[in-house]
Amino acid sequence: MPQIFPKWTLRLPLYAAVALPVVGAVVVGGIWYFFSPEYTDVGYRPAQPVPYSHALHVGELGLDCRYCHASVEESAVSNVPPTQVCMNCHHVAARDSELLEPIRKSIEQDRPMRWVRIHNLPDYAFFDHSVHVGAGVGCGTCHGPVHEMEVVYQAESLSMSWCLDCHRDPGPHLRPLEAVTDMEWIPTGDHAAFAELAITERSLAPPEDCTGCHR
């Protein structure tokens, strides 16, 4: 009986055995990356009802983070400032600006501004702002260089692995408590020695088990 298929077809099972794992790894790796927070969340910068520039208010005018986000030292959740906080300055500064019309209407109608949330943690993840601020973790560690942002965007992935990197080695991210909101703070001297002392004095023991963040 004559041979129907050429001899090279006998190698097809071998080719398939080699190619399928490679293709599978590429597909899984692609899904892992393109559906990860590093790809889907970093850089997210939604339009807000009022174009508030942190570069102006924080970077140029030197406004402290806590002036607007007053609860960060005492609450698990960082507050969105009420409209009256805006009007503390803007009843005089740029009071007739068209860009501030939504702010004025919010005051007149006694309705809160509908700001668009940028940093969205899943419901099953617990994060306490006051604990991290009290530990000496700077605002910029999680939020990035906000003082340079015309439009605020998500600078870090906020993924579980990203959080655990800091929990396992918090030292590089610690600073003096009075410098937590200083967006331009740079470590000086022997920072490793400072961090070791801070961990001891502040009794820091960041949890690494599941229940630390998933409650």
Report d(CA 138, CA 158) in Å as an integer: 15
Partner residues linked to 174 by β-bridges: 137
Tell me how far CA of residue 164 lies from CA of 39, 72, 80, in angstroms.
19, 21, 27
Q: What is the pLDDT of residues 71-103, one digit of tens each?
A: 999 999 999 999 999 999 999 999 899 999 999
Please give the biggest Cα pair distance in the chain. Answer: 99
pLDDT of 129 > 70? The answer is yes
Cα 47 to chain centroid distance, Å, stands at 17
Say how many residues make up the chain: 215
pTM (2 d.p.): 0.79
Query: Which pLDDT belongs to residue 12?
Result: 65
Residues 6+ away with beta carbon under 8 Å from 47: 116, 151
Tell me how far CA of residue 49 lies from CA of 100, 102, 148, in angstroms.
9, 7, 20
pLDDT classification of 198: cutoffs 50, 70, 90: very high
pLDDT of 35 > 70? The answer is no
Residues 6+ away with beta carbon under 8 Å from 153: 43, 44, 45, 118, 144
Tell me how far CA of residue 205 lies from CA of 104, 154, 187, in angstroms.
46, 27, 22
DSSP string, 72-123: TTT-SSPPPPPHHHHHHHHTTTTTT-GGGHHHHHHHHHT----PPP-----T
Query: Which pLDDT belongs to residue 215?
Result: 85
pLDDT of 38 > 50? The answer is no
